[in-house]
DNA sequence: ATCTAAACGAGACGGTACGTCCGGTCTTTTC
DNA sequence: GAAAAGACCGGACGTACCGTCTCGTTTAGAT
C-alpha cells in the first residue's frame, strides 16, 4: 500500500509488523470519525493503534500521507455497476461516490489532503496514484462498456479520447464533490438522474463534435 | 465585512480601528501566499499587520473564519462578461474563476476552509454567504441575460428553475475546481471551450425535459 | 494618603472623586482576601470598586503602590496598650501585631511588597513611610513610657539610644514575622511571654553594656 | 534535588537529563540576579539553560517551586564556624546569613516565595524542607557545641528544649532578615555583636527560667 | 542454539503555535 | 478636565503536538 515496496537492503533484523500497519490505518479512520482532520494527532492515532509514535513515523512521513493511505482503501469499494445502460451506470456511480463522501472520515479528510497537496507536489502524486486514479478507471471502464453496448461510438483519435475522458471525469467527480461538500445539499436519486441527463446530453455535443448523434437518455425518447 | 454590522449596543469606549481590519485581511492574504494555509499562524498575521494578537482574536473566532473573510474579498472581482452569447459568457466566467483559483492564496485556502466546514456548521454558513453566493449570482445573471437574448426559454416553474440553476452551478464550479486543484491540469481556453460545449449540450437535455429544443451550440444544429 | 498631597495645579475641570479612593482601597483589600497577592489584578480591583481602570492608574503607579496603601491603613489599628509594665506592654504589642499578620490580606501582601521593594527603591521608601514607621513608633513610645515608669534608665547618648531602638524593633518585628509567616507556627500568649522574657533579658545585657542592671522581668524575680 | 528520589516505576523511555537540572537551576539563579523575581519568566530561564520550556514544566510545577530549589542550594554554604565561644559562633552565623541575604538572587527571591507560600501550603512545606530546616540545624548544632563547652547547661526537658530552639531560631533569622530586607540597614560586625549580646542575655533569662546564670559574653569579663 | 540487527514500547527532548490573560496606554463619549 | 468604557500593543502564561532522540526489550532470520 505505501512506500516500502522494494525490500532493497534485505539485511538481518526484525521485520516490520504487518499487523501494525492494519491497526494504524484502521485507527486513523476511526480518529477521523471521532475528531475530524484538524484535531487528529499522530500521537492519538498511535495510542489508538496500540503502537509507539516512532513506529508510525518509521512508515509515514506525516499526517497527510497517513490519511491519504487510510482513506484510499475506502475507494476500493467503488465499482462500476452493470445496470444495462450508460445512464443508469452513471447514476449508480454517482450515488456510490456520494455515499462515500457522506462518510465522516472521507468527508473531513478528502478536501483537507487536497488542500495540503496544493503546496506539496509529492503529496499530490500520492493522491493521484492512490485516490484519483481509482476513480478515473470507473470512467474509462464505463465508456468501454458503453462502446461495447453500442451506446457510444468507438474513438479513432486516442488523444481526443483521453481528453474527453478527463473532461468527463472532472465534471462528474467535481460536481458530486461540490454538491456534497460545498453546497452541502443531498446527492439523492433525483439529483443523480438530472445530473446524468445533463452529462449525457453534453456528451453527445462534445464527443460528437459533428454529426455523431447518440441517443443520450433513453427515457427522454418518446 | 463581518459580524458587527448592527451598532447594537452603542456604548462608550474606543471604537474599533477600521484600518486594523484592512491591514489584517491584507496581511492574511500575503501570509497565505508566503506560507500556505497550514503554516499560516495567527501570530504571524498579527505581526505582519502591525497589530496585537488580541486585536485579531477580538474580531475573528479562529484561523478559518479569518481566511474565509480574507479570500472572500477576492471573489468580488468575478463578474459576468457581456460577450454576446451564452457560450462565450460561460467560457469567460470559467476562465475568470480558473484564474482566481490559480492564485496561490486562493488555491491553498479554498479547499482547506471547505474541509474545515465539514465539521463546523457555522463556518459552512459563513462560506456560503461570503463565497458561494458570490459565485452563484453569476449563474443566475448569466441565465437571465441568455433569456433576454432569447438563447434560453423563460422558466414557468420557479422551483424547477432554481433546481436547474443549482445543478449548473455545481457542475461549473465543481468541474473547474476539480480540474484545477485535484487533477492539477491547466484550465485553458481549449478546455473551457470543450467544457462549455458539454454544459450547453447538457443544458438543452435537462431544461428541455422534452422536445423543447434550444439552439444551444450553433455548431450542433445541422 | 498617597501621591497627590498638594493640589498643586488647581485648574478647572472635574475634581477627583474621594469616594473612588475609598472604594478602590477597600476593593483592594477584599481582592487580597479573595485572590491573594499573585492573582490580584488591577482590572479586577477596578471592577470591584465600580471604577474604570484609568481612574486607578491616574492615582497609583502600579500594583505594589496600591497594595502598600491598602494595607498601610490596617497598621493604624496598632497601638501601645498601657498595661502597667514593660513586659506586658511588649506582650500586648506582639499579640496585636501577630493578629494583624494573621489576617489574610496582610499575610499575603506584606512579604510580597517587601520582596518587590528589594529591587525598587522608591517602593521601599513608601513602605518605610507608610508601614514600618507606623510600627517603630510603638517601640519608641514603649521605651519612653518604661523610662517614665523607671523600668528603664534614661539614655544619655542619643545615637546609642537610636541604635538600640532600631535593634529592638528589628528583633521584635522580625521574630514575630518569621514565626508567623516562615515557621508558620502560632504566635500565642505562651510564645509571646517567652519571647518577651528573652527580649527583656537581652535588653539589660545590651543597654547595660556594663554593670547597669535592670530588673528584666519583674514578675520572675522573687 | 526534587521529587523523584525513588526510582519508583523504573519503566522504559528515555531517562531525564541530569545536566538539564543543573543548567536550569544555575540559569534560574542568574536570571534572578539579572531580572529579579518579578521579571523572571520561565521562558527566559529555559532559553538561558538551553532547554525547552516543556522540559522545565515537566520537572517543576511553577516559578515558585523552581526558585525555591534554585536558592535552596545556596543555603548549603551556611555552616557553623567553630570559633571557640558561643558568642562568636553566633556572630559568625549571623554574618554568614547576612552575606547570603545580601546576594541579589537570595534577596529578591526569599521574601517572594515566602509571600507565595502564605496561600500555598505545599510550597510552604517545600520551603521548610529545603530552606528553613537547613538554617535551623545551625541553631541546634550551635547549642550542642555550647553545651559541650559547658557554656550552656544540658536540657533535661526535651520539649522545652525544642521550644527554646525554635524561639532562638525565629529571633535570629527573623531579626537578620528584617534588618537586611525591611529596614534595609547593613548587618555589619558591630550590629552582629550588639545583637548577639542581646540574644545571649535573653537566653539566660529564658533557658534559665530562674537564677541559672550563664557567662553571657566571656570576652567582656576580664 | 546462538548471534545479530532492526523493529518495538516508552517517554524525554528542543521547538513552535496555541488561545488567554494582564499590564499599561490610548481614544471616545458623557458628565 | 475627570470619569466610564473599552479597544489597543506587548508580552508571558501554561498546554498541546510536532518530529527526533535515546533508552531497554523483543523477535525473526542468518549462522
The gap from C-alpha B172 to its chain's centroid, in whole angstroms, comes to: 11
R_g over Cα of chain B:
21
pLDDT at A210 over 80: no
Q: Say which of D112, D163, D202 has its CB closest to residue C115.
A: D112
Cβ pair D221, D215 in contact under 8 A: yes
pLDDT value of position D3: 41
pLDDT value of position D41: 98
Cβ pair A142, B146 in contact under 8 A: no
Cβ pair D190, D94 in contact under 8 A: no
Cα separation values, D84 from B122, D141, D142, D213, D221, Å = 82, 14, 11, 20, 16
Q: Please list every residue in chain C whose beta carbon sits closer than 8 Å to the beta carbon of residue D169.
A: 183
pLDDT value of position B218: 45
> Does C119 contact D202 at a Cβ distance shorter than 8 Å?
no
Write the DSSP symbol of residue B154: P
pLDDT at A7 over 80: no
* Distance (Å, whole) CA A63 – CA A40: 9
Cβ pair D51, D58 in contact under 8 A: no
Nucleotides of E under 7 A from a protein CB: 4-31
Q: Closest by alpha carbon to A94, among A105, A85, A81, A84?
A: A81
pLDDT at C86 over 60: yes
pLDDT at D67 over 80: yes
The gap from C-alpha D142 to its chain's centroid, in whole angstroms, comes to: 15
Lowest mean pLDDT among C28-37, D9-18, D30-39: D9-18
Q: C-alpha cell of C217?
A: 522581668
Give the other-Cβ count within 10 Å of D12's Cβ.
6
> Does A108 contact B127 at a Cβ distance shorter than 8 Å?
no
pLDDT at C178 over 60: yes
* Distance (Å, whole) CA C203 – CA C198: 8
* Distance (Å, whole) CA A101 – CA A114: 14
Buried b (16+ CB within 10 A) or exposed e, C78-101: eebeeeebbbbbbbbbbbbbbebb
pLDDT value of position C208: 57
pLDDT value of position C81: 87
pLDDT in tens, D102-152: 999 999 999 999 999 999 999 999 999 999 999 999 999 999 999 999 999
| Beta-carbon contacts of residue C146 (< 8 Å; ≥ 6 apart) | C86, C89, C152
Q: What is the mean pLDDT of chain C?
A: 88
Q: Is D221 left (phi over 0), alpha (psi -120 to 50) or beta?
A: beta
| Beta-carbon contacts of residue A208 (< 8 Å; ≥ 6 apart) | A214, B220
pLDDT in tens, C19-59: 889 999 999 999 999 999 999 999 999 999 999 999 999 99
Q: C-alpha cell of D107?
A: 534577596
pLDDT value of position C102: 96
- In chain B, the percentage of residues whose pLDDT exceeds 90 is 83
pLDDT value of position C11: 52
- In chain D, the percentage of residues whose pLDDT exceeds 90 is 83
pLDDT in tens, A88-133: 999 999 999 999 999 999 999 999 999 999 999 999 999 999 999 9
Write the DSSP symbol of residue C152: S
pLDDT in tens, B169-205: 999 999 999 999 999 999 999 999 999 999 999 998 8
Q: Closest by alpha carbon to A22, among A82, A69, A68, A79?
A: A69
Q: How far is A16 from chain B (nearest CA, A)?
A: 31
pLDDT at C212 over 70: no
pLDDT value of position A11: 65
Task: Quickly give B64 CA vs E19 C1' distance in Å.
Answer: 14
Sign of the Cα pseudo-torsion (D129, D134, D139, D142, in order): positive
> Does D108 contact C119 at a Cβ distance shorter than 8 Å?
yes
Instruction: Give the three-state DSSP class for D199.
Output: helix
Q: C-alpha cell of C135?
A: 510600627
Write the DSSP symbol of residue B185: -
Q: Say which of B167, B182, B210 has its CB closest to residue A194.
A: B167
Touching subunits of C (3+ CB pairs, under 8 Å) are: D
Residue A2: band (very low, low, confident or very high) from pLDDT cuts 50, 70, 90: very low
Q: What's phi and psi for C19, nearest 5 deg?
A: -65, -35
Q: Please list every residue in chain B whose beta carbon sits closer than 8 Å to the beta carbon of residue A217.
A: 205
Residue C16: band (very low, low, confident or very high) from pLDDT cuts 50, 70, 90: low
pLDDT in tens, A49-75: 999 999 999 999 999 999 999 999 999
Residue C18: band (very low, low, confident or very high) from pLDDT cuts 50, 70, 90: confident
Q: Closest by alpha carbon to C67, among C11, C126, C118?
A: C126
Question: Higher-confidence residue: C208 or B187?
Answer: B187
* Distance (Å, whole) CA D66 – CA D56: 9
Q: What is the mean pLDDT of chain D?
A: 90
Cβ pair A199, A172 in contact under 8 A: yes
pLDDT value of position D221: 39
- For chain A positions 44-103, those within 8 Å of chain B (CB to CB) are none
Q: Please list every residue in chain A whose beta carbon sits closer than 8 Å to the beta carbon of residue B200.
A: 202, 205
Instruction: Give the three-state DSSP class for C100.
Output: helix
Q: Closest by alpha carbon to D83, among D68, D98, D71, D94?
A: D94
Residue D205: band (very low, low, confident or very high) from pLDDT cuts 50, 70, 90: confident
Q: C-alpha cell of B111?
A: 479547499
Q: Which residue is nearest to nucleotide F29 (CA to C1')?
A: A12
Q: Which residues of chain B have pLDDT under 50?
A: 1-8, 209-222
pLDDT value of position B206: 84
* Distance (Å, whole) CA C21 – CA C59: 9
Q: Is D17 left (phi over 0), alpha (psi -120 to 50) or beta?
A: beta
Q: Closest by alpha carbon to B68, among B104, B16, B29, B121?
A: B29
pLDDT at D215 over 70: no
Give the other-Cβ count within 10 Å of A8's Cβ.
7
Overall average pLDDT of the D167-187 stretch: 97
Q: Does B125 touch chain A (CB under 8 A)?
A: no
Residue C219: band (very low, low, confident or very high) from pLDDT cuts 50, 70, 90: very low
Residue-range domains of chain B with CATH: 18-59 (1.10.10.60), 72-208 (1.10.357.10)
Q: Please list every residue in chain A whose beta carbon sits closer than 8 Å to the beta carbon of residue B166.
A: 183, 185
Task: Report the run of H or E that residue D175 belongs to, with start and end.
Answer: helix D158-177
* Distance (Å, whole) CA D25 – CA D67: 8
Q: C-alpha cell of A131?
A: 485516490
pLDDT at C5 over 50: no
Q: Does A203 touch chain B (CB under 8 A)?
A: yes
Give the other-Cβ count within 10 Å of D162's Cβ.
12
Residue with cell 472572500: B72
Overall average pLDDT of the C101-114 stretch: 96
pLDDT value of position A209: 45
Amino acid at each position: 500500500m505505501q512506500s516500502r515496496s522494494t525490500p532493497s537492503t534485505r539485511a538481518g533484523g526484525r521485520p516490520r509488523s504487518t499487523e501494525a500497519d492494519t491497526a494504524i490505518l484502521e485507527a486513523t479512520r476511526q480518529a477521523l470519525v471521532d475528531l475530524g482532520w484538524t484535531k487528529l494527532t499522530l500521537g492519538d492515532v498511535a495510542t489508538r493503534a496500540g503502537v509507539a509514535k516512532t513506529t508510525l513515523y518509521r512508515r509515514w512521513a506525516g499526517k497527510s500521507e497517513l490519511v491519504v493511505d487510510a482513506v484510499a482503501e475506502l475507494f476500493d469499494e467503488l465499482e462500476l455497476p452493470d445496470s444495462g445502460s450508460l445512464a443508469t451506470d452513471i447514476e449508480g456511480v454517482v450515488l456510490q461516490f456520494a455515499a462515500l463522501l457522506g462518510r465522516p472520515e472521507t468527508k473531513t479528510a478528502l478536501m483537507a489532503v487536497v488542500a495540503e497537496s496544493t503546496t506539496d507536489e509529492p503529496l499530490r502524486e500520492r493522491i493521484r496514484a492512490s485516490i484519483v486514479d481509482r476513480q478515473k478507471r470507473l470512467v474509462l471502464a464505463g465508456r468501454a462498456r458503453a462502446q461495447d453496448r453500442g451506446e457510444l461510438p468507438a474513438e479513432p483519435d486516442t488523444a481526443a479520447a483521453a481528453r474527453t475522458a478527463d473532461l468527463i471525469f472532472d465534471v462528474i467527480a467535481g460536481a458530486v464533490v461540490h454538491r456534497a461538500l460545498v453546497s452541502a445539499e443531498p446527492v439523492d436519486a433525483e439529483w443523480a438522474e438530472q445530473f446524468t441527463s445533463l452529462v449525457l446530453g453534453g456528451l453527445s455535443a462534445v464527443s460528437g463534435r459533428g454529426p455523431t448523434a447518440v441517443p443520450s437518455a433513453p427515457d427522454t425518447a418518446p
